Each structure stands twice: as structure tokens, then as C-alpha cells.
Amino acid sequence: MGNLSNRDTDRHIDRMAVPEVVINRLPQYVRVLKSLISDEIQVVNSQLLGKKLQITPTQIRKDLSYFGRFGKQGRGYSVNNLLEELKQILGLNYEWNVVLVGVGRLGRAILSYPGFNPDGFHLIAAIDNNPDLIGQEFNGLLVSSIDDLSSLVMKHNISIAIVSVPTTQTQQVIDRVIECGIESILNYAPTTPQVPTHVKITNIDPVISLQSMTYHLVN
Amino acid sequence: MGNLSNRDTDRHIDRMAVPEVVINRLPQYVRVLKSLISDEIQVVNSQLLGKKLQITPTQIRKDLSYFGRFGKQGRGYSVNNLLEELKQILGLNYEWNVVLVGVGRLGRAILSYPGFNPDGFHLIAAIDNNPDLIGQEFNGLLVSSIDDLSSLVMKHNISIAIVSVPTTQTQQVIDRVIECGIESILNYAPTTPQVPTHVKITNIDPVISLQSMTYHLVN
DNA sequence: TAGATTGTTAATCGATTAACAATC
DNA sequence: TAGATTGTTAATCGATTAACAATC
């Protein structure tokens, strides 16, 4: 045990923290690798990968080097192997259960979006505070009260929440979601909620995106 | 005229290019300023602004300094004035006409999203290649063929496209959109299209966002 | 072996932040 | 005037990239 623990320590010496910006690029690599597989391409080098993603080859190699040595000099990367490694790193070999909080117009559109399941993200519970909605089904999913969130999270091993509630309620809803032990939140409300450092939140806000585009149109 | 033109030149000497990352933060400032107005707060300093957005006060002052001097020492910024200045900078005092390309499930959800209009973005045309859809109306909007895009763009002075077509068609659709003179694209397809440098594209992809969250859940 | 491409170091570039004079 | 906060410079921090030895 002493030995094992030493080996483990050695392996971690000077192991750099991986910059967030690197982690955010990995899913893009996964997507391109998947498309290469459909194209029946078995080996890829950093140059081609870079071309597909408009990223320099050096950056791709540097990004990958945070996690290991996956390529062969003079040759490149096995598409299959690199894909599996990245899925492993990102935790994409698991199935992830997701709760939707807010079953209004936008929430229902999210429920009916078919793109989550094929990538292993399963909307398995739905929450709303509207008594008229609670007990109803949308896309085969029963709407529950937020009072049931904690037990739903435990029962279904939920680790991700997608939040689509009105702006005025977003902060308090997210506070409750975090109290239930959720540490990953995808927020569709047009606001920047405050969350503790251990919680990862990503905001999806098309209007904000449009508003920085218009800058380039007038300047 | 010679003088005028000289003054103009002087004003631009050493004028720094504004980093993209700064421009992307400005809409957030706009949003917070609007909420301060609803709260009837008339003056704000960089500290409060920073607290609301989890940004350092220095960064906010630095960001604003690319565009002018909007504050008063010892006091802060007039909420109203700063909001107007930022709207001016971002081009948010105009109404922007937008075309939706792709009227499938996701496209219809986008059409029915009520959040664009209040901020001056108007979905004014809809395009699809499905003959069964062309001629139909969704949310009061007639679906047209992509062959009509060019004339629609000119007729309605459209400068932004929202693209929600299947992944396989995204690149070719975006190529055509760009041919019609569109320079700002909000892309909902889960792919990274290649665009010329003068075109600004933003990708909205919830699955990619989820996939970088799971990294933190397993690491 | 010769050629190609990785993995990695060191240099460069760019963004953030600390510090403070200017000034309201 | 004293206190507060801006605007800006210079230092720091972090991310990208150029260059190249290692090696397939």
C-alpha cells in the first residue's frame, strides 16, 4: 500500500491543472472525431483536426498533452483510440441523468429536443411551480413540485440541471437546485446567477449573442 | 474639410482595436444596467457592477476605457447615461431584422421565443427547403424557399441569420446565407461551420456545454 | 533510412489585475 | 477639504504559438 500510494504520488508530481479553456475545447474534438469515423477515416493528424476546427495544430497537440500521449510520431492519432480517450477524460462513457427545472414554453421545447439522448444525457425529471402543470406529462415526463427535487435527485442519481424558469425566479431556483446537491447547471434564463465555486454553470442566451454581433455590424 | 479630416485622424491615432472578449462582455453590462433601472438605482460604481457580474471592478473600468470616459471620480457612473452609451456602442438603438433558416422542430421553437422582439431583434422571414413547409405560416411568418433569400434580405434589410437546419446541411446553407450578404450568424446546429473572416458566427450547442460539465463531475 | 509528425520547451502574445495619480 | 472612485499605467498572469528534439 505504501508503494502504491507512492507511485500514485509520483504520477501526480507537477501535474498541471488543466485550464478551463482546454476542457471547453475537448467536446469539439470529440465531435470532429465522431464525424471522421462516419467518414471511415482511421488516422488523423493535428493538422487536419486543426483545419476542421479552425485551431492551430500546435494548440491541439498542447491541449492533448495535458492528458497523455495519444499519438504516434510521423503518423498521427488513431481516430478510434483518441475518441475513446477523450470520452474517458470527459466522462462521456457514462449515462447522465438530467432534471429540467421550468416547464414553460422554452422548457417544453427543451424536453422535445432529440439531441440529448444520443449523447447520453437523459432528461429524467421535470419540475415546475405551477400547480396546473404539476402532475401533467410532457414528452412522457411527469411534472413534479420543486419540493420533490431532493428525493428525485437521489432516487434517479441526477447530477445535472437544466434551468428554464423566468428571470425573476432564476436565482432562487438555482439556489435550491444547488442545495439538492446538483453541481452542474445549464441555465437558459437571461441572467448571470451567482453560484459557489464548486458549481459549474453555463449560460445559454441567444439575445446576448446577438447583441455582441451587432457591434460588428455598426463598427 | 481639411481641418475636420485632420481632427478625425488625430482622434484615431493609436486607437486600440477592442479585444473580442471585451465586446462579448458589453451586453452583460447592458443587462445589469437595465435591471438597475428597474430597481430605480441611478448611480452605480464599478464595484457593484463587478459584484453583480462576478467580474473585478478594474476589468469593468478597463473595458469601458476602450470606448470613452463615462464615469465621475468619487461617484461612479450614471446608470442611464452608461446604458445609453453602451447601447450606442453595440448598435442596440437600431431595430435589427433577422431571417430564420430552418423551420423544423427547433426552428419553430425559436420562432415562438418571445425574447427577441423586446430587445429589437425581429424575426421577419423564414426559410426552409421542405416543399411541404414553403407557403405555410408559423407564428404569422410565411416560409419561403432559400432561392428567395437574396431578395428577402434586400427587401427587408436583413443583416442577421439564425440557422437551425440539420447538421449535414449546415455548411452549405451557411455558404448561401453568406452569399446573400449576411455577416452575422447565430448557428444552432451542432457543428462548427467555416466562415470567412469578415463573418461573425456564434454557435449555440447545449450538448457541447453539457459535455464539458461532465469533465468536472468525473474529475 | 528518410520523411513525417508528435510532444514539449521556451518565446511571444494578449488579457487581467494591482497600484495610484487625477479629480469629482 | 476629505473621501471616494475613476481612468490609466505598468506588472503579472495565463494562454497561444514557434521551434525543434524525439521517435514512429
C-alpha–C-alpha distance, residues B206 and B172, integer Å = 22
Q: What are phi and psi of A159, to 5 degrees?
A: -125, 0
Residues A63 and A39 in one domain: yes
Q: What are phi and psi of A96, to 5 degrees?
A: -115, 130
pLDDT, position A17: 87
CA nearest to A31, candidates A105, A77, A92, A76: A92
Residues B25 and B51 in one domain: yes
Q: Is the pLDDT of residue B95 over 90?
A: yes
pLDDT range class, residue A53, cuts 50, 70, 90: very high
Which residues of chain A lie closer than 8 angstroms to B190, CB-CB? 31, 115
Measure Cα distances from A95 to A4, A86, A118, A191, A202 in Å.
Answer: 31, 15, 10, 29, 20
Q: Is the pLDDT of residue A11 over 80?
A: no
- Best mutation target among A85, A153, A211, A216 (most B Cβ atoms within 10 Å) is A211
Classify residue A119 by its DSSP letter: G
Please give the mean pLDDT across all residues of chain B.
93
Residues A30 and A59 in one domain: yes
> For B34-63, what is the mean pLDDT?
98
Q: Is the pLDDT of residue B15 over 70?
A: no
- Interchain contact A111–B (C-beta under 8 A): no
CB contact under 8 A, B91 and A200: no
**In chain B, what percentage of residues exceed pLDDT 70?**
93
Which residues of chain B lie closer than 8 angstroms to A194, CB-CB? 54
pLDDT, position B5: 33
Interatomic separation, CA of residue B64 and C1' of nucleotide D2, rounded (Å) = 28
C-alpha–C-alpha distance, residues A82 and A77, integer Å = 6
> For B94-99, what is the mean pLDDT?
98
Please give the mean pLDDT across all residues of chain A.
93
Q: Which of residues 50-109 of B touch strand C (CB under 7 A)?
A: 55-56, 58-59, 61-62, 72-75
B214 belongs to a structural domain: no
CB contact under 8 A, B211 and A94: no
Strand C bases, protein C-beta under 7 A: 2-9, 14-19, 22-24
Q: Is the pLDDT of residue A2 over 80?
A: no
> For A139-155, what is the mean pLDDT?
98
Give chain B as a 3 state SS string.
CHHHHHHHHHHHCCCCCCCHHHHHHHHHHHHHHHHHHHCCCCEECHHHHHHHHCCCHHHHHHHHHCCCCCEECCCEEEHHHHHHHHHHHHCCCCCEEEEEECCCHHHHHHHCCCCCHHHCEEEEEEECCCCCCCCCEECCEEEECHHHHHHHHHHHCEEEEEECCCHHHHHHHHHHHHHCCCCEEEECCCCCCCCCCCCEEEECCHHHHHHHHHHHHHC
Which residues of chain B lie closer than 8 angstroms to A119, CB-CB? 207, 210-211
**In chain A, what percentage of residues exceed pLDDT 70?**
93
Classify residue A194 by its DSSP letter: -
pLDDT range class, residue B1, cuts 50, 70, 90: very low
Q: Which residues pair with B99 in a beta bridge?
A: B125, B161
**In chain A, what percentage of residues exceed pLDDT 90?**
92
Q: Which of B115, B183, B215 sits opposite A91 (nearest CB)?
A: B215
Residues A162 and A113 in one domain: yes
> For A94-108, what is the mean pLDDT?
97
Residues A80 and A115 in one domain: no
Q: Which of A90, A125, A154 is the last residue of a domain?
A: A90
C-alpha–C-alpha distance, residues B36 and B33, integer Å = 5
pLDDT, position B17: 87
Distance of CA B77 to the CA centre of its chain: 24
Q: Is the pLDDT of residue B7 over 50?
A: no
CA nearest to B31, candidates A192, A172, A202, A206: A192
Q: Please report, for the domain that includes residue A134, its CATH number.
A: 3.40.50.720
A140 belongs to a structural domain: yes
Interatomic separation, CA of residue B143 and C1' of nucleotide D14, rounded (Å) = 48
CB contact under 8 A, B27 and A212: yes
Q: Which of B90, B117, B135 is the last residue of a domain?
A: B90
* Residue A98, min C-alpha distance to chain B (Å): 10
Q: Is the CB of A73 under 7 A from strand D?
A: yes
Residues B104 and B68 in one domain: no
Interatomic separation, CA of residue B64 and C1' of nucleotide D8, rounded (Å) = 12
Q: Is the pLDDT of residue B89 over 60?
A: yes
- Interchain contact B67–A (C-beta under 8 A): no
> For A145-174, what is the mean pLDDT?
98
Residues A48 and A121 in one domain: no
pLDDT, position A16: 66
Which residues of chain B lie closer than 8 angstroms to A202, CB-CB? 209, 212-213
Is residue B79 packed enough to be buried (19+ CB in 10 Å), middle (13-18) or exposed (0-12)? buried
For residue range B192-209, list pLDDT tens digits in order: 999 999 999 999 999 999
Q: Is the pLDDT of residue A57 over 80?
A: yes
Q: Is the pLDDT of residue A9 over 90?
A: no
> For A125-137, what is the mean pLDDT?
98
* Residue B75, min C-alpha distance to chain A (Å): 25
Read off the pTM: 0.93
Q: Is the pLDDT of residue B175 over 50?
A: yes
Q: Please report, for the domain that includes residue A12, its CATH number.
A: 1.10.10.10
Interatomic separation, CA of residue A56 and C1' of nucleotide D17, rounded (Å) = 8
pLDDT, position B54: 95
- Best mutation target among A26, A183, A215, A218 (most B Cβ atoms within 10 Å) is A215
Interatomic separation, CA of residue A10 and C1' of nucleotide C7, rounded (Å) = 20
> For A140-147, what is the mean pLDDT?
98
Residues A50 and A78 in one domain: yes
Residues A127 and A190 in one domain: yes
| Domain span holding position B71 | 4-90
The protein residue nearest nucleotide C23, judged by CA to C1', is: B73
Q: Which of B90, B106, B138 is the last residue of a domain?
A: B90
Angle at which helices B79-90 and A206-218 cross, to 10°: 70
CA nearest to A31, candidates B127, B118, B205, B83: B205
**In chain B, what percentage of residues exceed pLDDT 90?**
92
C-alpha–C-alpha distance, residues A202 and A35, integer Å = 25
Angle at which helices A57-65 and A46-53 cross, to 10°: 110
Residues A132 and A201 in one domain: yes
CB contact under 8 A, A211 and B160: no
Q: Is A209 left (phi over 0), alpha (psi -120 to 50) or beta?
A: alpha
Residues B13 and B66 in one domain: yes
C-alpha–C-alpha distance, residues B85 and B205, integer Å = 31
Q: With contact defined as beta carbons under 8 Å apart, do A163 and A191 qualify?
A: no
For residue range B97-114, list pLDDT tens digits in order: 999 999 999 999 999 999
Measured in residues, chain B has a length of 219
Q: Which of A184, A204, A211 sits opposite B217 (nearest CB)?
A: A184
B74 belongs to a structural domain: yes
B43: nt with nearest C1' to CA? D5
Q: What are phi and psi of B171, to 5 degrees?
A: -60, -50
- Grid coordinates standing for A150? 431532493
Residues A109 and A48 in one domain: no
Neighbours of B27 (CB within 10 A): 24
Q: Give the CA dihedral A125, A126, A131, A135, nearest 10 degrees.
A: -50
Which residues of chain A lie closer than 8 angstroms to B183, CB-CB? 216-217
> Total structural domains in chain B?
2
